[in-house]
């Protein structure tokens, strides 16, 4: 089917343009250029015969923005000029709309993000449907890009730099009401009919509308760079950006540059500078990585790893066993999604304490104006805190979230699995223990699955679903649906020790400990960990996990080695250093009063001074680039091993899981996208160099060698 922009004129000579492109959404691609070009040409010719224009959409979304798949094809050093010209062509069409001499109103019936909101900004008035489907904003920075269709220049001219700068630098997405409050849209409507009626009423009331920045003598609200306060704000934003991006992503700095230029040059010149900015960013590796991540995220959330042909389900009643840190978080996110929750612990007191966690989070939301008393009561009313097994009767899903102990988990499965509804699913929230082993006492191992949450559950967006040897496709589909029901992103992995995220996460901590053991300065280790884009240094991560937990996990692994007749590699630097910190200095991590760091009450954490004194050696000289690569490559090599061993099923789950589950640097696009960008043969060479110098843990797996030989990207 060929897409079209429907053109309909009513008795009042108001033209309604309804965008209805051939794909599932309206997007800024070649078809758009053709359709919008033809539409603006016709409107320009007929301007004397029309009273105004309403621009709306036939899709659920108003307009989805740029064509990412197309942009990913852009070749550095070749396509920048073409990209610049495309921006200029898009802007020329929107300028025709903006300078029509007749009022133009955007009737926003769904999401208008990126290019979609840029179209709205070129209109003279914006009416949005007061619906959860409506999202408004310019989130291009999250793709390593900037708004190239006039978004920066028009938003700064419309709102002034003080109100426009953070939505541009942070890529804020506003719902309808927040967009209205922030001045991004002017009116709200409760129905599609009312939206069109309000748009037409505004046209009749404003027959000679134009955008204020096209009027002679217009001044940007709040002032331009001649205003000392504004100049100071722009100057102050530079170190703030460096602190946030660590110089790893060029898009925020480029956006700030366009903002600053908008405040010092004329409108048309600023528009050209904006076009150049986008053209320069599209071909950067960071943009390609972030755009790839965006597409893979859509693939994962679109059910990429969910078994096909199984009907979608929704959990009605979930049992959560263990009201500790993980259990209380699972109860909260489940109740928030409208699911009835039974939160069980060994005592009523412990269960009540777990439920109180939800109340605390809801109170915080109320204090910020994000929650009503009525809604809070409704969510709390869905959680039954109990110490009685019979209260679990009829749960269609039970999630066990007790300590990482095989025998304890076995005992609980035997005792409480009979409470499940017929064909109910049993999920174990474990970060390391094999699901096939945990499923041994189950009466229905085909209904047994791993559902690994991350702490804190209310904030972490990922769920790692682990398939045991006997887990059925139907059980996997139901666990996948539950993860999406509670608004989490699910990745699917196969059973093994530590699965994917825990295995890879442990290597970052271990390499940090290895460097410390070698005598590298802890300050250098931590700073270079952050310099590569990890959220915090490996020693700080170890403190958060706790040295005690690392030692306990190691002991558990040794027990499993004996039980399963395997060798998991229990003796490592992470374990040795954690044990040393506990045994010799009584420092078990943040939760135990301090570890590598001191945690003064009400103050910032600081490295414990004794760490440098005890471990740093003056004669040790490891190159900074080696330290950085060791911290990154160690994680990637482990990910390759997971892929080679069949723990991971696809590249998308691996990339998404690495960034959202373990904090791998987002600008890389994930563990395997990092290799694609680095170059496969170059990556193999660097691994070999690190392996020769620092040990076989960096030896490139055969899977990588085969891919490099065939020059086959990870896709």
Angstrom distance (rounded) from CA 19 to CA 40: 13
Q: Which residues contact 675 (CB under 8 A, 6 or more apart)?
A: 636, 683, 704, 714
List beta partners, residue 492.
465
Report the half-sphere exposure of 552 (CA within 13 A, side-chain side). Answer: 12
Of the chain, the end-to-end C-alpha distance in Å amounts to 30
Distances (CA, A) of 8 to 14, 191, 661: 8, 20, 50
List beta partners, residue 53.
15, 104
Angstrom distance (rounded) from CA 593 to CA 605: 12
Choose among 533, 529, 494: nearest CA to 510. Answer: 529
**Residue 135 parent element (H or E):** strand 135-137
Report the half-sphere exposure of 382 (CA within 13 A, side-chain side). Answer: 23
Residues forming the active site? 452
Q: Which residues contact 286 (CB under 8 A, 6 or more apart)?
A: 144, 248, 249, 250, 251, 667
Q: CA angle, 73 as apex, 72 and 77 as ends, to 5°?
A: 105
Distances (CA, A) of 236 to 145, 160, 399, 521: 22, 17, 48, 32
Angstrom distance (rounded) from CA 684 to CA 689: 9
Tokens of 299: 């693939």
Tokens of 195: 């939206």
Residues in the chain: 715
Strand order in the sheet with 14-20: 4-9, 14-20, 52-57, 104-108, 125-129, 187-189
Alpha-carbon torsion, ordered 566, 569, 575, 576, to 10 deg: 120
Query: Within the chain, how many helices (H) and strands (E) appear?
Result: 29, 19
Angstrom distance (rounded) from CA 527 to CA 531: 6
Provide φ and ψ at 187, rounded to 5°: -140, 155
Distances (CA, A) of 210 to 155, 194, 216, 434: 15, 23, 12, 65
Maximum C-alpha span of the chain: 87
């Amino acid at each position: 089917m060929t897409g079209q922009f429907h053109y309909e004129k009513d008795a009042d000579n108001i033209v309604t343009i309804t965008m209805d492109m051939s794909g599932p959404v309206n997007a800024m691609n070649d078809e758009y250029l053709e359709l919008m070009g033809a539409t603006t040409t016709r409107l320009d010719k007929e301007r004397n015969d029309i009273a105004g224009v309403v621009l709306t959409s036939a899709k659920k979304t108003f307009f989805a923005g740029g064509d990412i798949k197309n942009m990913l094809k852009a070749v550095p050093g070749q396509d920048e000029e073409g990209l610049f010209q495309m921006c200029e062509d898009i802007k020329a069409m929107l300028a025709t709309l903006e300078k029509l001499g007749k009022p133009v109103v955007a009737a926003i019936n769904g999401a208008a993000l990126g290019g979609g909101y840029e179209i709205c900004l070129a209109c003279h008035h914006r009416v949005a449907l007061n619906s959860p489907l409506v999202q408004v904003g310019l989130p291009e920075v999250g793709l390593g890009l900037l708004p190239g269709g006039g978004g920066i220049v028009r938003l700064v001219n419309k709102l002034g730099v003080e109100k426009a700068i953070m939505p541009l630098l942070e890529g804020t997405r506003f719902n309808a009401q927040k967009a209205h409050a922030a001045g991004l849209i002017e009116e709200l409507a409760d129905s599609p009919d009312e939206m069109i009626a309000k748009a037409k009423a505004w046209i009749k009331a404003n027959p000679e509308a134009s955008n204020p920045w096209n009027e002679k003598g217009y001044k940007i609200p709040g002032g331009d760079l001649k205003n000392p306060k504004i100049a100071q704000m722009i100057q102050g934003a530079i170190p703030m950006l460096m602190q946030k991006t660590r110089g790893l992503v060029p898009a925020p700095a480029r956006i700030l540059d366009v903002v600053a230029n908008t405040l010092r040059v004329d409108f048309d010149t600023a528009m050209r500078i904006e076009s150049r900015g986008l053209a320069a960013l599209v071909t950067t590796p960071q943009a390609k990585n972030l755009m790839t991540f965006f597409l893979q995220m859509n693939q994962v959330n679109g059910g990429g790893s969910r078994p096909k042909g199984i009907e979608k389900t929704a959990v009605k009643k979930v049992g959560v066993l263990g009201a500790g840190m993980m259990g209380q978080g699972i109860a909260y996110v489940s109740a928030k999604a409208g699911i009835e929750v039974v939160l069980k612990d060994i005592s009523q007191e412990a269960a009540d304490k777990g439920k109180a966690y939800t109340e605390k989070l809801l109170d915080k939301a109320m204090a910020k104006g994000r929650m009503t008393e009525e809604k809070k009561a409704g969510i709390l009313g869905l959680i039954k805190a109990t110490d009685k097994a019979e209260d679990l009767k009829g749960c269609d899903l039970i999630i066990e979230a007790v300590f990482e102990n095989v025998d304890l988990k076995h005992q609980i499965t035997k005792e409480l699995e009979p409470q499940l509804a017929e064909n109910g699913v049993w999920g174990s929230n474990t970060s390391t223990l094999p699901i096939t082993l945990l499923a041994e006492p189950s009466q229905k191992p085909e209904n047994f699955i791993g559902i690994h949450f991350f702490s804190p559950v209310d904030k972490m967006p990922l769920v790692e679903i682990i398939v045991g040897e006997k887990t059925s496709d139907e059980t996997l589909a139901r666990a996948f649906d539950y993860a999406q029901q509670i608004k989490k992103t699910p990745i699917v992995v196969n059973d093994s020790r530590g699965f994917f995220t825990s295995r890879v996460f442990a290597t970052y901590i271990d390499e940090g400990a290895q460097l410390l053991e070698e005598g590298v300065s802890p300050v250098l280790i931590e700073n270079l960990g952050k310099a590569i884009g990890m959220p915090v240094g490996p020693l700080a991560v170890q403190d958060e996990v706790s040295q005690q937990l690392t030692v306990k996990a190691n002991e558990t692994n040794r027990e499993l080695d004996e039980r399963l007749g395997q060798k998991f590699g229990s003796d490592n630097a992470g374990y040795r250093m954690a044990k040393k910190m506990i045994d010799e200095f009584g420092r078990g991590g943040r939760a135990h009063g301090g570890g590598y760091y001191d945690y003064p009450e009400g103050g910032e954490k600081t490295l414990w001074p004794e760490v440098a004194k005890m471990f740093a050696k003056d004669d040790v000289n490891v190159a900074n680039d080696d330290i950085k690569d060791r911290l990154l490559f160690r994680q990637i090599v482990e990910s390759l091993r997971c892929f080679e061993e069949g723990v991971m099923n696809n590249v998308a789950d691996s990339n998404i899981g690495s960034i959202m589950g373990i904090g791998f640097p987002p600008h890389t696009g994930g563990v395997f996208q990092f290799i694609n960008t680095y170059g496969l043969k170059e990556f193999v060479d660097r691994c070999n160099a690190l392996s020769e110098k620092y040990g076989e843990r960096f030896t490139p797996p055969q899977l990588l060698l085969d891919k490099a030989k065939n020059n086959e990207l990870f896709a």
